[in-house]
Structure 1
Amino acid sequence: MNIREVTHFFTFLLLLIFLFFSYPYSNLADVERVILTPEILQERIKSPQLQDGILTLDLTSLEIDLTEENNEFKEEFYRQVQHYLNYSDQVTGLDFSHSLIKGELLSSRLGISIILSPETLPKNLTISEQKIIESNNRFSPQPLDNINSIILFRGALKFNESILTEKMSF
């Protein structure tokens, strides 16, 4: 090999190395997302995934349109998710990783609304969940003395590399 061939070889090698390291590995704009429909939501609700030992509703890699222009779907989305969470006997999380969420995400409609009174606690809570709620300083040991309520999230909320076009209200 002469000097010219060696120079060409190293130039080519440097170009390959430059291209390799400059390629974006995690470009969120390039993530292929499926548009969430009521049918896909039903499928996901019927087949939750086990993640880190917790049953999780898989809402990953989706385009979720919760805008006012898509109000019918938005209401259906919240109704189905809340129904699923309210009647689950197990702690259940929500995973929105890699999803694009259009519109405002209302956490108050994703959790379980609980009135802090012994007679109104949901029957599907675990003993440890009941103890945590009863230790809340706003919990009223007397039936319906003081109508305080909280939003309970029984599992993890995951938003790894998610994009929200508007705010998330807590």
Structure 2
Amino acid sequence: MSATGGAHGAGAAAAPVFEVRRVRIDDPLAEPLVRELTEEYVRRYGPGAHEEMTRYPVESWTEPHGVLLLLLEDGEPVAGGAYKRYDERTAEVKRMWTHSAHRRRGLATRVLAELERAAAAVGYDRIYLTTGPRQPEARGLYLVNGYTPLFDVAADPLTIGPLPFEKRLA
């Protein structure tokens, strides 16, 4: 077994090498996240959704109150997410993204866990987030990862608007 847990030998594929890296939103490594997430929002919500990606200043995603994490596979960004300060005890998760070619591999769950660890390490004890009503994959991600919905889950999401969730950090 290699240090990354993959077997070596004839016919064995090498296990992917992942790295979690903290970057600024204007770092060139974050460009695929920003571009593809913007395209996704516009596709689902229309041209006005473009504004969501520029709504917050760069400093929102920088330490000590925020962070942007990328999950790199063999040096290439495949998933990412960020949090910013919501209030003194609460981090707000934003910018969750998995590259379209790498979905359904559990990468978003890994990014979310890394964001939770990073937020707890700087003293946040709660995560808050919203996702859009046209993002059922995100809704499912947060439910399966222990987030409490702050809305009626039986209601049609399109009648609610943004879907808020929270999670207490250990």
Q: Same fold by TM-score, threshold 0.5 exceeded?
A: no
Q: Which structure features the higher share of strand residues?
A: 2
Q: RCO greater where, 1 or 2, for CA within 8 Å and sep 6 or more?
A: 1
Question: Normalization by structure 2: what TM-score?
Answer: 0.31
Question: Normalization by structure 1: what TM-score?
Answer: 0.31
